[in-house]
Structure 1
Amino acid sequence: MTQPIRKVPLTHGAQWLIRAFNLGTRNPRAIFGAGLLVMAVLYLVMYLFTMPLRVGESEPDMERIVSVIGIAALAAVLVLPVLLGGLMHVIREAESGRPVRARDLFAPLRQHKAVQLALLGVIQIALALICGTLLLWATGPDFWAHYQDMARGAIGGQVNVPAAHSPTLVIVVQLVYYYFSTAVVLVSIPLIMFSGLDISAAVRRSLGASVWNLGSYLFAAMLFMLGVMISGALISVVSLAAMQLGSLIHPAVGQLLVVAVVVAYGSAFLVVMCGTCYYAWRDVFTDNDDAPAANAPRTPRPGELEA
């Protein structure tokens, strides 16, 4: 029987984020290792799909560059929900005290849920096309050409913001798109992974939850973005300090330290984001915080360590 969507207080948005910040106390190696694996897989996808730019023509034309990068970005959009589902699986298993390792990030493949998760990327692409069509209608046919001129001018240090026919409508359309496209993907992932729903049911219920709990979801999102801005500024300072200290030994050491800081921050970012969505799913869609996964618990293999 499908469980009802709970209406939760506004303050629960803050609680989800706080609990996500405290993730990793049970099994940090598995949780943050899975976060690093997410980044590694995304990098590998982008590297493989942009390989045509590194072979063949010595100087590919701009149209080919845009096409290849666009295809690579589409591939990443399809792969990302699968990886986020795997990361939420690792988080859930670790928080439940069950044995789990970083490579359990690929649990959606074993559980045959990767295709449904990847289809969330297709939905996100469709929503982006709808948003683009609405923006084109709201801004006039010349807006995008002016926008491209603005982007090219920004590279040279000259920014001329294009004027839209309906600037208020542009802002509203973009806010609605970003909220619902993000909610559909991030809320549908645990519904597919843990609630046993197919993609159509998961999308319907995620849309319902994003409307029914608009306040708590937005509050969590605003707190998360505020945290990203503050932590991003701090990481910039830390990276600069690491570069300076490492350069005292060798410039390559400084660059390596900066990469290490950025990668660690990226892993923490993914863990907190997925953790927030996981706790939101538990709060809104389940009756028992420690409810078992939809699939039967995996029996630990002999000699398997929790870490």
Structure 2
Amino acid sequence: MSTINKVPASAGAEWLLGGFALLRRAPVALGTLAILWGLGSTVLMALAGATGLTVLLYAAQFLLILAGPLFFGAMIWAAREVDQGRPAQPAHLLQPIRDGHGPALLATLLPQVIASFALGLLLLAMIGPDQLKHLGEVWVQMQTVAAEGGQPDPSLVKDLPAGRLLLWLLLVAITFVVIKWMTFIAAPQILFTGTDAIGAMRNSLRACLHNWTAMLVFYLLAGIAIFAITFGSLLLMAILQLITGPVIAVLLWQLVLLAVLTPVLAGAMYTAWRQMMTTAGSAAPSTAPATTHIEV
């Protein structure tokens, strides 16, 4: 039994600040975990690309997609370790698997898979196969013109069903938000309370809906922070290009971004979980002075 806590809109800012605070307490340890993941992913893709086999490249990408929830779950676990005064260690990257939570974390990918198929079929039903083929051709032509530095011809899109495409894009946006809210605090529930994947995603969606103002504040501030960090790090990449060359500079830039943004977002989700969810039999977190409770 869990309780969903009502938090103020300002809690969204607290979640982000909580993520930064956890990173500040253990920047090297948390950053190292993210860098190890980034290096492992880069090596895997490089090895797959070196074979020259497209099927292996797709297989490597598929493995990384599957490993994504496991890695992020490990980062959330490490964030809790830091929060409770214990060190984050590279061994924590395998913690979700050791604890047997791997299948439940992987199950959080199901809404994305189902939504992708459903939206694809919906697009086909809304505009038809002929228009879908025409849309693909227009997209390729526009990319080709853009790559050559030209301006796309407006006549390319005049025959497209703009109204139905806009409606489909609106449905895509709504679905994207729903999926993000279903998984926002699902991983901490799975890792720390043993909740099954379906129950965790249901609780996460209900918590986010109940605290939608805090979610809006969080996404707004997180977007600004990500933009600022990314823009600022471009200056670092420009300096690195002069020293190491463009290829190494881009790799180092990506690793630095990963080492900063991943722990911050994992820490923010952990903080949000502590505030929005109270497990039965435990005291409500001091960081979440709940005013309203909804039993789920």
TM-score between both structures, scaled by the size of structure 1: 0.78
In structure 2, the CA distance between the partners of 1:269 and 1:119, relative to structure 1 (3 Å rule), is same
Equivalent position of 1:114 in the other structure:
102
In structure 1, runs of 5+ residues without a counterpart are: 247-251, 292-307
Q: Which shows bigger deviation, 263-272 or 132-141?
A: 132-141
Confirm or deny: 8 A CA contact 2:29 2:87 kept in the other structure: no
In structure 2, the CA distance between the partners of 1:137 and 1:272, relative to structure 1 (3 Å rule), is farther
CA distance in 2, matches of 1:136, 1:152: 24
CA distance in 1, matches of 2:46, 2:101: 25
In structure 2, the CA distance between the partners of 1:241 and 1:44, relative to structure 1 (3 Å rule), is closer
Equivalent position of 1:303 in the other structure:
none
In structure 2, the CA distance between the partners of 1:55 and 1:151, relative to structure 1 (3 Å rule), is same
CA distance in 2, matches of 1:169, 1:224: 27
In structure 2, runs of 5+ residues without a counterpart are: 288-296
Confirm or deny: 8 A CA contact 1:85 1:117 kept in the other structure: yes
| Structure 1 counterpart of 2:115, from 115, 118, 127 | 127
CA distance in 2, matches of 1:152, 1:70: 24
Query: Structure 2 counterpart of 1:216, which letter?
Result: A
Equivalent position of 1:6 in the other structure:
5
Q: Check if 1:211 corresponds to 2:203.
A: no
Confirm or deny: 8 A CA contact 1:134 1:173 kept in the other structure: no
- Bigger RCO (CA 8 Å, 6+ sep): 2
Query: Structure 2 counterpart of 1:260, which letter?
Result: L
SS at match of 1:194: helix
Equivalent position of 1:39 in the other structure:
38
Confirm or deny: 8 A CA contact 2:30 2:259 kept in the other structure: no
- 1:107 Cα deviation after fit: 0.4
- 1:276 Cα deviation after fit: 1.3
Query: Structure 1 counterpart of 2:31, which letter?
Result: F
Identity %: 23
Q: Which shows bigger deviation, 110-119 or 37-46?
A: 37-46
- 1:32 Cα deviation after fit: 1.3
Confirm or deny: 8 A CA contact 1:282 1:289 kept in the other structure: yes
Q: Check if 1:173 corresponds to 2:171.
A: yes
CA distance in 2, matches of 1:46, 1:222: 33
Query: In the comparison of the two structures, how many residue pairs are matched?
Result: 273
| Structure 2 counterpart of 1:54, from 50, 56, 60 | 50
In structure 2, the CA distance between the partners of 1:122 and 1:22, relative to structure 1 (3 Å rule), is same
Equivalent position of 2:61 in the other structure:
73
In structure 2, the CA distance between the partners of 1:210 and 1:150, relative to structure 1 (3 Å rule), is farther
The RMSD of aligned alpha carbons is 2.7
Q: Deviations over 1:225-268 (max 9, x none)?
A: 22222222222222113323x2xxxxx46754553333112211
Confirm or deny: 8 A CA contact 1:96 1:290 kept in the other structure: no
Whichever structure has more helix as a proportion of its residues is 2
